[in-house]
């Protein structure tokens, strides 16, 4: 599109693709740090990217967050996906219900005319409680579905902000930051080289599983998030990065 061309966003997208090896990089104009509506543009972009390859029968795992919350909103009502199952990729954060993975899974399924399964496992449980809850047959079934996901769509956050949002103790937050964490995704914390430096106890998809997933779509923007996006891309290069101009420009500046 014209705005895209005018702003040289194609050029920036190619640079990011080359640098990190993602198959596709899609950049929406604007910066979601200063304009919240840019998140809805990213949501629309992610939704149309998903539609471009989604097959009936696919299992789609999603995470939460304010950016991911825009993905179902950007999806028109569709038919022909009744055998798609949408599921939360990880246990709950205890955040506002609108931005929880379970809510996003249900909303996305509704738009697709698909089915959904909810994951009722809170984050940060002690090892015993986690063990006992994840051995429940109904929970086990959902966890095995997640492990077989064909598509994963997820957000990326800044380490400190996410550690606070996830309600970690101040001492733990200090430790995570001391270990150099700059990014968070799926409850994993990464340093600027893309090394995992801390993991929260949570059930569901592990970042290790990403390499076996057919399509991984990362959705994150805002100039402030660029170091976090960079760190995650160093850990795993997704099939597609859906981002905004603010983050994209900063990303190539960081190189």
What pairing do the DSSP bridges indicate for beta strands 215-219 and 240-244? parallel
Is 150 a binding residue for ligand BG6 by CB under 6 A? The answer is no
Stretch that binds ligand BG6, among 3-11, 59-67, 80-88, 144-152 (CB under 6 A): 59-67
Phi, psi dihedrals of residue 103, rounded to the nearest 5°: -65, -45
Q: How many CA atoms lie within 13 A of 6 on its CB side?
A: 5
The residue within the footprint of ligand BG6, chosen from 75, 93, 163, 181 (CB under 6 A), is 93
What's the closest the beta carbon of residue 168 comes to ligand BG6, in angstroms? 13
What's the closest the beta carbon of residue 139 comes to ligand BG6, in angstroms? 19
The residue within the footprint of ligand BG6, chosen from 64, 74, 204, 246 (CB under 6 A), is 64
Is 63 a binding residue for ligand BG6 by CB under 6 A? The answer is yes
What's the closest the beta carbon of residue 161 comes to ligand BG6, in angstroms? 7
The residue within the footprint of ligand BG6, chosen from 186, 189, 190, 198 (CB under 6 A), is 186
Residues near ligand BG6, by CB under 6 A: 63-68, 93, 154-157, 162, 184-186
């Amino acid at each position: 599109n014209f705005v895209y061309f005018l702003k040289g966003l194609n050029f920036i997208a190619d640079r990011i693709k080359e640098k990190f090896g993602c198959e596709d990089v899609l950049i929406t104009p604007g910066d979601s740090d200063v304009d919240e509506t840019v998140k809805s543009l990213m949501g629309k972009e992610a939704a149309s990217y998903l539609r471009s390859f989604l097959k009936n029968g696919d299992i789609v795992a999603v995470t939460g967050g304010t950016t991911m919350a825009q993905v179902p909103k950007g999806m028109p009502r569709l038919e022909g996906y009744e055998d798609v199952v949408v599921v939360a990729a990880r246990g709950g954060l205890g955040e506002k219900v609108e931005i929880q993975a379970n809510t996003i899974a249900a909303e996305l399924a509704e738009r697709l005319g698909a089915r959904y399964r909810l994951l009722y496992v809170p984050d940060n449980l002690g090892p015993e409680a986690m063990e006992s809850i994840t051995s429940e047959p109904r929970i086990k079934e959902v966890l095995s579905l997640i492990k077989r996901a064909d598509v994963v769509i997820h957000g990326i956050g800044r380490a400190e902000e996410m550690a606070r949002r996830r309600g970690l103790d101040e001492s733990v937050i200090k430790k995570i930051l001391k270990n150099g964490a700059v990014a968070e995704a799926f409850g994993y914390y990464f340093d600027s080289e893309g090394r995992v430096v801390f993991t929260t106890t949570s059930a569901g998809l592990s970042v290790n599983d990403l390499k076996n997933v057919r399509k991984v779509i990362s959705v994150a923007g805002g100039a402030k998030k660029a170091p976090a996006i960079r760190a995650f891309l160093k850990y795993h290069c997704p099939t597609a990065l859906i981002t905004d101009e603010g983050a994209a420009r900063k990303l190539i500046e960081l190189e």
